[in-house]
Amino acid sequence: MKKRPSYCNHADLEMALRSEEFPYAVAVLQSRVRYIPEHSFMITAKEPFIIEKTKSILEQFLDTQVKQSKVMYDNAERHRMWVCCKHVLDFISFQTKNNQKVPDYLFENQEYRENYIRGFFDSRACVTFSPHQDVNYPRVIITKKNARLLKSLAELLQEEGLTPLVKKRVLRLHKSKDIVKIIESQLITDSQKLERLRKLAYTCPV
């Protein structure tokens, strides 16, 4: 693991880095932005699950300001979270080369890896299917303009025994063993997404 810059030597960050839950919040941030902001970040989601879970993790480990609110967007209610945590963002930017890759320290620990994957999947993955001979085969797809980050995420998924396919700005998981592992290891914790994946897997020969 690379030496962290001195400006990241904060007690709350040290505690967060020892936590198995913190990678979830890191993944949510990385999945939602193009570049790591300098001082604060804001994420908006249709469902409150992502916002509430990320907020809970940050408040548990970080001495930082977290605000949550509801907003109207395209005539629909959205949930929003705003966080001011410069030293944490400095560290994430350093570890990810400004959001170009997965943080190096995650590769050291399986729980870190799995919780990072959960955060990325909950935040960005789309559970869909590919029809073939009257059977809907389940797929997990992540679309993001940041191709370098997707490639690095694919390497992390391979560490977990998954076989992602990355083409341009799309990452796909479609093999039967991958779908089974995602379900059994609960690599998606968003209950709606996970239930949809289970139903698709149940109705086809996974």
Tell me the longest C-alpha to C-alpha distance in the chain: 58
Q: Which domains does the chain carry?
A: 6-115 (3.10.28), 123-202 (3.10.28.10)
Q: What is the pLDDT along the chain (206 residues), one digit of tens a residue?
A: 444 444 445 777 778 888 899 999 999 999 999 999 988 888 888 888 999 999 999 888 877 778 888 888 778 888 899 988 888 888 889 899 999 999 998 988 999 999 999 999 999 999 999 877 677 789 999 999 999 999 999 999 999 999 999 998 999 999 999 999 999 999 999 999 999 999 988 877 55
pLDDT at 47: 82
Buried b (16+ CB within 10 A) or exposed e, 90-120: bbbbbbbeebbbbbeebeeeeebbbbbbbbb
Q: Say what the pLDDT of residue 9 is.
A: 52
pLDDT of residue 136: 78
137 burial (CB, 10 Å; 0-12 / 13-18 / 19+) is buried
Output phi, psi for 47, to 5 deg: -100, 145
**pLDDT value of position 25:** 93
Which residues, at least 6 apart from 147, have a Cβ–Cβ distance to it below 8 Å?
A: 166, 168, 169
Q: Please answer whether residues 23 and 107 qualify as being in contact, where contact means their C-beta atoms are separated by less than 8 angstroms.
A: no
